[in-house]
Structure 1
Amino acid sequence: MQHKITLIKNANIVNEGKIFNGDILIDGDYIKEVDNSISAKSSDINIIDAEGKYLLPGIIDDQVHFREPGLTQKATIQTESIAAIAGGITSFIEMPNTNPQTTTIEKLNEKFDIASKTSFANYSFMFGGTNDNLDEILKVDPKQVAALKLFLGSSTGNMLVDDPQILEKIFSNTKLLIAVHCEDETTIKTNLERYKKEYGDNIPIKYHPIIRSEEACYLSSSKAIELAKKTGARLHVFHLSTGKETSLFSNKIPLKDKKITAEVCIHHLWFSDEDYEKKGTLIKWNPAVKTSKDRDLLWKALLDDRIDVIATDHAPHTLSEKNNAYTSAPSGGPLVQHALPAMLEMYNKGKINLIKIVEKMCHNPAILFQIEKRGFIREGYFADLVLVDLVSPWTVNKENILYKCKWSPFEGTSFKSRITHTFVNGGLAYNNFKFSEKKYAKQLTFNR
C-alpha cells in the first residue's frame, strides 16, 4: 500500500528563529519539502489549508510520569499519550519511579514494550539511579535511553540517592546525561516536623512552599552543580522553582556547548503561592509553587536563556488521593494536554513570543538530549507537527479533560488558543477533537 502524502498549505511556520508563510509536504514519516509555495503533483494528496493558523514543530516534553507499570489507577501510557497529542506534545520522556521502578535493564525493556504497543506519541524513558545499581547504569545504551534520572530529594522507595560517595561514583562513571530532582531532604524533614507539631496532619497547604523551601532547593541544586563541575558530568536540573536557583546557571555559551542546563515547568510559570487558597492540594507539587517574585525571576531566566527548556512534570494522581489531608495528599498534577495552550496564553498576554516558545519546547529539548531528526521543521526530519489556531477560545472543563484522572489544575480556565491538528511521524494523529485509531508513534533515538 502506498504511503500517504499530505500537503499543508498557507501556514504561518514558526521555526528556527523565524515566522514565515509557507507550505510543507509530508511524504510518509518525513518532511519532504518546506517552501513558500508547493503545488500538489497528484490528485490523491491530502491537502490541509492552514490559512491563519500557526505551524510549530511537535512539542518534546522531557519530563512526564505516565504511571505505568504499577500505578495504572492514576494513568497509563495510552491514556496520557492521547492527552499529550491533543495538547500538541508529539514526543515524551518518561520517568523511572513507576512500580516496579525502572532501575534494571529488564524493567526498562518492559516499559519500551508497553509503549511500543500502546503509545500515541513518540517515547523514551529515563533510567533510574539508586544507591546500589551502578552496574546496571553502566549497561544502559546511550543511543536508546534519554538520560539517567537521579532523585536527590523527594522520592519513594530506594530511589533517593543520598550517599555522597555513590553519587560521585555515578557522576564520574556514566556517559549518560544526568537529570536531577533537587530538594534537600534534611531541610524538608526539619521544616515538616515543626509544622506537624503545630497542626498534626492537617497542615494548611499555604505552608507547603515554606516546608519545601527555597533553602532546600538551592542547597541541593548548588551541590549537584558543584559535583558536575568536579567530575565533568553532563547535568540537567529539572523543574527550577526559585529565583535564587536561577543564579546558578549561565547564558554565556550556546546550549549545544553547555554541560549544565536547567528546566522550568508550566506550573511554576503560571501559579504562585497566592493560588493555594483557591486551588489547595491540586497545585501541591514537589518542588512547591513558590512566590510571585520567584515566578517573575523564573520568567526572567527563561527569557534570557539561563533556563533552557520548558516541560510539564505531568504527574497525575486520583482526585480522592489529592483530597487527602496535607501529609497524605501526594504531590503532582496532570499537565500534558494544557501545557502548550497555557504557553500560548502567555504569548497572547505579551509575556513570551512564539519563537521563544518553540525554542524552549521543541528545539532545545532536541538539542539537549541529542534526539535524532526531531524538534525542528526541516526537510528529512520526522514530520512531528502541530497546527494551532491562536483565536479559537475554549474553557477547560470535566467534559474535555482527557487525563485518566479526569481533573486538571486548569479546570475553569479559558484559553484563547487551541490545537487543531497534531502529526506524529507524518500521520494525522489528532484532528479537531478526533483521534486516529492508528498509532504512528516511534521510539526516540539519540545521536550519541
Structure 2
Amino acid sequence: MSHVLIVNAHIINEEHETAADVLVRDGRIARIAPQISAPAGVPVFDAKGQWLLPGVIDDQVHFREPGLTHKGDLYTESRAAVVGGTTSFFDMPNNKPAITTRALLAEKYAMAQGRCFGNYAFYFGAANDNLEEVAALERDEACAIKVFMGASTGNMLVDDPKTLEGIFARAPLLVVTHCEDTPTILANEAKAREKYGEDVPAAEHPRIRSEAACYKSTELATSLAKKYNADLHVLHLTTAKELALFTAGPMKNKKITVEACVHHLYMDERDYERLGHLIKCNPAIKTPQDRQALVRAVMQDRIDIIATDHAPHTAEEKANRYFKAPSGLPLVQHSLLMLIHLVKLGEMNLRTVVRKTSHAVADRFGIPDRGYIREGYWADLVIVDPNASTTVRKSDVLYRCGWSPVEGCTFPAAIRATFVNGELAAENGRVVGGPKGRRIRFV
C-alpha cells in the first residue's frame, strides 16, 4: 500500500524547517498541514522528535551491473542505498559491456525493471568512436552523457581532441565529466615505480592522481563547455585549486556546475595510514586543506551537488598491491549519516545538505515531481532520528562486497525509515518488502 500518514514530523525542505504532518496517497504527497486526521485504513507513522527529509538522489553510483556482479548489482546496492536514506540513483556506464550504444542502454533499463529498491536512471557513455550515437540520444533516454576525460574501463576513455570537441558541440543532453589528465598520471606512476617498485604505498595515490592532473583536465572541460555553450556538470572535484574554475552562487542560471563526493568532504590523506587501499579512489582523496576548501565551497554554493561515487570492490581485490588494487569504495548505506556528522560538527548545515543531495539534483537533471517535499510530488522521504546514534558493524553492511570504509565509526544520528514512491522501503537498518523503485523520467 502506498498510503501512509506521517505525523509530528520536523520537516527540513526548501530552506525552511516546519512542524507538520504529511499524508501520502497513491505514492504521492497528498497533503502537508500542521495536523491531519488519519483517513480510515491509512497506517500512521509517528515521527515525533525526528527529521523528515526528501530522499537523497545520488547522481553518481557504480552498482556494477552488467558484467561485474561479483562486486555488486542493482538489487544489492540499491537495497543498501534505501537503508541509508537514498531513494533514487543514477548508475554509471562503465559496465561490461560498457553502455556506449542506445541498444545496450535499453537492455540495462530492461534488466533493472522490478529489481531496484530505489528509483533509477542510467548514464550513456561517450567513447572515441560513438559520437553519432551520442548525438542521436533523446531527452528521456538517459540522465546525461558521461565523458571519462581520464583513464577508465575498456573503451570509455575519451582522449581524441576532435571527439571531445564534437561531444561538447553536439550533445543533446547534459554532459558530465570525470576530469583527470591521463598523461600526467602515467608520468607520476612511472616516478612512483622508479622509487618504490610495485610496492607503492597507498598514501602516494594523491600524488599520482595529482592536483595538476585534475586541474589540467577540469580546465579543458570547462573551456570546451564555454566554447560551445554546452551544459556541463563536473563530477567529484577534489582540489582547492580547481574551485577557481567555478562560480559561486545559486545554481539556477549556471551552465557549468560541479559536485563533491561525500568521502572527499569527510576524509583526507591522513586516512590512508589507517585504511590504505580501502579508500583508494579516482580522483584521489587529498590534503586536509583540500577537504576544508571543498566543505567551504559547498557552503558558499560554489559546489552545487553532493554525491557518493559508490564503487564497490571485493576485499580480496583491495588487498592487492598498489597497481593491482582497484579504485573505488562503497558508501551509499552511510553517506547521509556521514553528512549529518559534518552538520553536527558545525562544518555544514542541514538545509544545505538537503539542497545539495535532493533539490539541486532534481533541478540540474530535470527530474519532475521528485527531490522536494511538496504536495503532488512522489513521496520519496527519509526519517532521521537526530538524537540516536549508529555504529557501523560489518554484520550490518548490505553491499555484496561485504565491507565498508566506515566500519567501527559511530555517527550521531540514525536513519529510521525510508519511503520510496510512498511505500515503506526500509526501517531501522533493514529493508521492508521487495524492490519498489521506478524508472526516473526527465524533462
- Shorter chain as denominator, the TM-score bin is over 0.9
Residues 314-371 of structure 1 deviation map (CA, whole Å, 9 limit, x = unaligned): 0000000001000100000000001001011111111111111100101000011011
2:264 maps to 1:268:
yes
One-letter identity of the residue aligned with 2:173: L
Q: 1:56 aligns with which of 30, 53, 58?
A: 53
Deviation at 1:60, TM superposition (A): 0.1
The correspondence of residues 160-171 of structure 1 with structure 2, limited to 5 A, is 160-171=157-168
2:126 maps to 1:116:
no
Deviation at 1:423, TM superposition (A): 0.4
Deviation at 1:4, TM superposition (A): 4.2
- Residue of structure 2 in register with 1:366 after alignment: 362
Deviation at 1:313, TM superposition (A): 0.1
- Residue of structure 1 in register with 2:199 after alignment: 202
Q: Which stretches in structure 1 are left out of the alignment for 5+ residues?
A: none
Deviation at 1:251, TM superposition (A): 1.9
The correspondence of residues 141-220 of structure 1 with structure 2, limited to 5 A, is 141-220=138-217
One-letter identity of the residue aligned with 1:127: F
The correspondence of residues 269-288 of structure 1 with structure 2, limited to 5 A, is 269-288=265-284
- Residue of structure 2 in register with 1:85 after alignment: 82
- Residue of structure 2 in register with 1:291 after alignment: 287
Most deviating of 344-353 and 52-61: 344-353
Q: Contact (CA 8 Å) 1:57, 1:376: kept in 2 or not?
A: yes
Distance in 1 (alpha carbons) for counterparts of 2:151 and 2:235 = 13
Residues 36-58 of structure 1 deviation map (CA, whole Å, 9 limit, x = unaligned): 1111232x110111100000001
User: Secondary structure in 1 aligned to 2:123?
Assistant: strand
Deviation at 1:435, TM superposition (A): 1.9
2:339 maps to 1:343:
yes
Distance in 2 (alpha carbons) for counterparts of 1:79 and 1:28 = 26
One-letter identity of the residue aligned with 2:4: T
Q: 2:247 aligns with which of 250, 256, 262?
A: 250
Deviation at 1:137, TM superposition (A): 1.2
One-letter identity of the residue aligned with 1:29: G
Q: Contact (CA 8 Å) 1:62, 1:311: kept in 2 or not?
A: yes
Deviation at 1:392, TM superposition (A): 1.3
- Residue of structure 1 in register with 2:426 after alignment: 430
Deviation at 1:144, TM superposition (A): 3.2
Residues 59-98 of structure 1 deviation map (CA, whole Å, 9 limit, x = unaligned): 0000000000000000000000000000100000000000
Q: 1:222 aligns with which of 219, 222, 226?
A: 219
- Residue of structure 2 in register with 1:138 after alignment: 135
Q: TM-score, normalised by structure 1?
A: 0.98
One-letter identity of the residue aligned with 1:317: H
Residues 352-398 of structure 1 deviation map (CA, whole Å, 9 limit, x = unaligned): 11111100101000011011110000001000000000121121111
Q: Contact (CA 8 Å) 2:138, 2:172: kept in 1 or not?
A: no
Distance in 2 (alpha carbons) for counterparts of 1:144 and 1:34 = 33
Q: Contact (CA 8 Å) 1:154, 1:286: kept in 2 or not?
A: no
Distance in 2 (alpha carbons) for counterparts of 1:354 and 1:4 = 27
Distance in 2 (alpha carbons) for counterparts of 1:141 and 1:58 = 27
Question: How many equivalent pairs are there?
Answer: 443
- Residue of structure 2 in register with 1:9 after alignment: 7
Distance in 1 (alpha carbons) for counterparts of 2:3 and 2:325 = 49
Distance in 1 (alpha carbons) for counterparts of 2:431 and 2:113 = 18
The correspondence of residues 343-422 of structure 1 with structure 2, limited to 5 A, is 343-422=339-418
Distance in 2 (alpha carbons) for counterparts of 1:339 and 1:203 = 29
Deviation at 1:256, TM superposition (A): 2.3
One-letter identity of the residue aligned with 1:41: P
Q: Contact (CA 8 Å) 2:8, 2:48: kept in 1 or not?
A: yes
Q: 2:235 aligns with which of 235, 238, 243?
A: 238
Distance in 1 (alpha carbons) for counterparts of 2:252 and 2:136 = 25
User: Secondary structure in 1 aligned to 2:114?
Assistant: helix
User: Secondary structure in 2 aligned to 1:62?
Assistant: strand
The correspondence of residues 324-343 of structure 1 with structure 2, limited to 5 A, is 324-343=320-339
Q: Contact (CA 8 Å) 1:388, 1:417: kept in 2 or not?
A: yes
Q: Contact (CA 8 Å) 1:4, 1:45: kept in 2 or not?
A: no
One-letter identity of the residue aligned with 2:218: S
Distance in 2 (alpha carbons) for counterparts of 1:114 and 1:341 = 30
Distance in 2 (alpha carbons) for counterparts of 1:163 and 1:125 = 24
2:8 maps to 1:36:
no
Q: Contact (CA 8 Å) 2:280, 2:327: kept in 1 or not?
A: yes
Distance in 1 (alpha carbons) for counterparts of 2:307 and 2:42 = 35
Q: TM-score, normalised by structure 2?
A: 0.99
Most deviating of 31-40 and 308-317: 31-40
Residues 5-28 of structure 1 deviation map (CA, whole Å, 9 limit, x = unaligned): 211000000000001100000001
Q: What is the alpha-carbon root mean square deviation over aligned residues?
A: 0.9
